[in-house]
Amino acid sequence: MKTFIIALKIFLFFTILTGIIYPLIVTGIAQLVFPGKANGSFIVKDNVTIGSELIGQQFDSIIYFSSRPSAIGYNPLPSGGSNFGLTNAKLKHSVDSLTKHFIAFNQLDINTKVPSEMVFASASGLDPHISSEAAMLQVNRIAKARNFNEIQKQELIQCVKTFTEGPQFLILGQERVNVLLLNIKIDKIK
């Protein structure tokens, strides 16, 4: 019985330490050091939250840059990919379909090499980024849909370049563009 009481005390001590005290300390530090990120990196426009820098959204309009496809419909609750293997017929059909859609939607040459992130969903299904190459392939469609003149089109190209982020920690991944931030910015081109 004595051993049981000692074990129970140790259990309660570590439960309080790791289940209450530690999370409160970490949350407090996060709120002090980087409160925006700690609260979800929400983007507010006209006092309305329109999204998060960290979670991808679907953009179907021809006047906006398209996001990476999502196997979960951009729903953050069941975050995950399709889990189809490379030899799965459904994956091949999906890739072929998304490639044809991307080429047709952006009015590109049939032989255009479509960047992989535009035909494969990310592992989380929520990636908010596309490559700068994928963004540049969409510039002509957006400029045409918005009736941009050549100066405005060059501004659009400059927006893509400005919002292009380098690899994470300078070595991880590739250059990428946050689609939501880019779409917010292009609405300001006059």
Hey, where are the domains in the chain?
1-39, 41-186
> Cβ distance 155 to 142 under 8 Å?
no
User: Looking at 103-145, which runs of residues are DSSP E strands?
Assistant: 129-130
Separation of alpha carbons 174 and 188, rounded Å: 27
Tens-level pLDDT at each residue, the chain (190 residues): 889 999 999 999 999 999 999 999 999 999 999 888 888 888 888 888 888 888 888 888 899 999 999 888 888 888 777 788 888 888 899 899 999 999 999 999 999 999 999 998 888 878 899 999 999 999 999 999 999 999 999 999 999 999 999 888 888 888 999 999 999 999 888 7
- pLDDT of the residue at 105: 94
C-alpha torsion angle, residues 122, 126, 132, 138 (rounded to 10): 100
CA distance 66 to 139: 11
